[in-house]
């Protein structure tokens, strides 16, 4: 099954390609982006791992991630998508990030609406999950604007920069 590109009023959500290597590196090495993000890279060469991960998700039908680009100019803004896609359990895990220059413009909300509709309508999923560091208030608010409910907190469940962090679990069920 091929995953399509998705268009919204202001955005194109398109397949991530090798040409996006520098864009992905710009985001996943930026201190403000990776402050609460589970993946980061210190070199352009190391970022190939992320591109391979995106491609593997599509190849194995266990997820799909899309580049968030501006419809008018094609300028790269960030990425959004699913991983841990389970057809058996009709669920997937949502993730997203934006370059700081695009924060506060409603792009995450617009992109999220489109990928949620795709998940419920085309993929026939019932549950979308998101795991967010408890200190990442912006991402929590973005999820709550889309009617995600916090289900709980996994206390000291991961180690980041040598210290334990807690992760909040959010979900949204198909109506």
Total domains, the chain: 1
Q: What is the pLDDT of residue 1?
A: 52
Q: What is the pLDDT of residue 29?
A: 96
**Residue at 13 is within a domain:** yes
**Residue at 135 is within a domain:** no
Cβ pair 90, 139 in contact under 8 A: no
**Residue at 161 is within a domain:** no
pLDDT in tens, the chain (175 residues): 566 899 999 999 999 999 999 999 999 999 999 999 889 999 999 999 999 999 999 999 999 999 999 999 999 999 999 999 999 999 999 999 999 999 999 999 999 999 999 999 999 999 999 999 999 999 999 999 999 999 999 999 999 888 999 999 999 999 8
| CA dihedral angle for residue 115, residue 147, residue 128, residue 130, rounded to 10 degrees | 100
**Residue at 155 is within a domain:** no
**Residue at 120 is within a domain:** yes
The domain that holds 44 is classified in CATH as: 3.40.630.30
Parent domain of 88: 6-130
**Residue at 12 is within a domain:** yes
pTM for this prediction: 0.94
Output b/e per residue, 17-55; b: 16+ Cβ within 10 A. eeebbebbbbbbbbeebbebbeebbeeeeebeebbeebe
Q: What is the pLDDT of residue 120?
A: 96
Rounded distance between C-alpha atoms, residue 143 and residue 137, angstroms: 10
**Residue at 170 is within a domain:** no
CA separation, residue 98 to residues 15, 27, 79, 122, 163 (Å): 16, 7, 7, 25, 25
**Residue at 166 is within a domain:** no
Q: What is the pLDDT of residue 98?
A: 97
Q: What is the pLDDT of residue 3?
A: 66
């Amino acid at each position: 099954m091929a995953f399509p590109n998705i268009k919204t009023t202001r955005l194109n959500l398109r397949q991530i390609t090798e040409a996006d290597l520098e864009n992905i590196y710009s985001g996943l090495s930026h201190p403000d982006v990776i402050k609460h993000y589970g993946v980061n890279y210190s070199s352009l060469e190391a970022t190939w791992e992320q591109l391979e991960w995106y491609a593997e998700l599509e190849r194995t039908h266990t997820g799909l991630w899309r580049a968030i680009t501006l419809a008018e100019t094609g300028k790269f803004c960030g990425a959004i998508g699913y991983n841990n896609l389970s057809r058996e359990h009709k669920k997937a895990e949502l993730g997203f990030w934006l370059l700081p220059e695009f924060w506060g413009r409603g792009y995450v909300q617009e992109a999220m609406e489109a990928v949620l509709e795709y998940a419920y309508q085309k993929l026939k999923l019932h549950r979308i999950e998101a795991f967010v560091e408890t200190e990442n208030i912006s991402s929590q608010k973005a999820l709550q604007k889309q009617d995600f409910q916090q289900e709980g907190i996994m206390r000291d469940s991961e180690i980041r920069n040598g210290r334990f962090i807690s992760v909040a679990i959010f979900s949204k069920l198909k109506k």
